[in-house]
Amino acid sequence: MTATNGGPTGTRQDTVAAVVRQWQAVHPDLDTAPIEIIGRINRCAALLQQAEDAPLRRAGLSRPEFDLLGALRRTGQELTPSELARETFSSGAAVTKRLKMLTERGLVERRGDSRDRRVAHLRLTDAGRELVDGTLPEQLAYETAVLSGLDPKGQHELASLLGELLAQLEGRLGALRV
């Protein structure tokens, strides 16, 4: 479906459609189509972050903390802080801060490396594993509810398109690093 402004916004107008209309009024010669995608991705991300995942909040976790615990759980092995930073797309400093809190809560434990004392190996404690395993189904149900306004076909199409975009962006960033 298209909205009244001709863009692919569904049946309701959103804030990005208004932004596009404003830019088109000021600069009718500019192609504002990228705003319809990038603007909506950014707006969705901001709204999802503001919503604070209810199941995680009840478990006393932030999304970034849960991401660290989830990385340790899903990989099924000990990880170093650097590996966790890569797994969760976080900075080393942010991982260090979160790990300190998770360790103090008894959810993660550190083990020193026998060859290099500067390296720490991290793993979930039993309490950490139980928290992740207990929270994940509820979190997935919450995320399903968030997406419930889209039919299954629309969700699949969106996931596919976002996957294509992500792979393209990751490839570009990887090429820039080399």
Query: Quick one: pLDDT at residue 156?
Result: 96
Find, among 27, 32, 2, the residue nearest to 16 by Cα.
32
Q: Which two tokens stand for residue 143?
A: 């995320």
Q: Which residues contact 54 (CB under 8 A, 6 or more apart)?
A: 142
Query: Quick one: pLDDT at residue 49?
Result: 79
Q: What is the band of 3 on the pLDDT scale with cuts at 50, 70, 90?
A: very low
Q: The pTM is what? A: 0.77
Query: Quick one: pLDDT at residue 26?
Result: 97
**Mean pLDDT value across the chain:** 88
DSSP state of 41: H
* pLDDT single digits (tens) 20-75: 999 999 999 999 999 999 999 999 998 887 776 788 888 999 999 999 999 999 99
Residue 121 CB coordination number (10 Å) = 16
- Report the C-alpha gap between 82 and 50 in whole angstroms: 28
- Report the C-alpha gap between 158 and 72 in whole angstroms: 28
Query: Over pLDDT 70: what percentage of the chain?
Result: 89
Query: Quick one: pLDDT at residue 9?
Result: 43
Q: What is the band of 6 on the pLDDT scale with cuts at 50, 70, 90?
A: very low
Query: Quick one: pLDDT at residue 74?
Result: 96
Query: Quick one: pLDDT at residue 91?
Result: 93
CA terminus-to-terminus distance, the chain: 42
Would you list the DSSP string of 108-176? EEEEE-SS-TT-EEEEE-HHHHHHHHHHHHHHHHHHHHHHTTS-HHHHHHHHHHHHHHHHHHHHHHHHH
Q: What is the band of 175 on the pLDDT scale with cuts at 50, 70, 90?
A: low
Q: Which residues contact 150 (CB under 8 A, 6 or more apart)?
A: 158
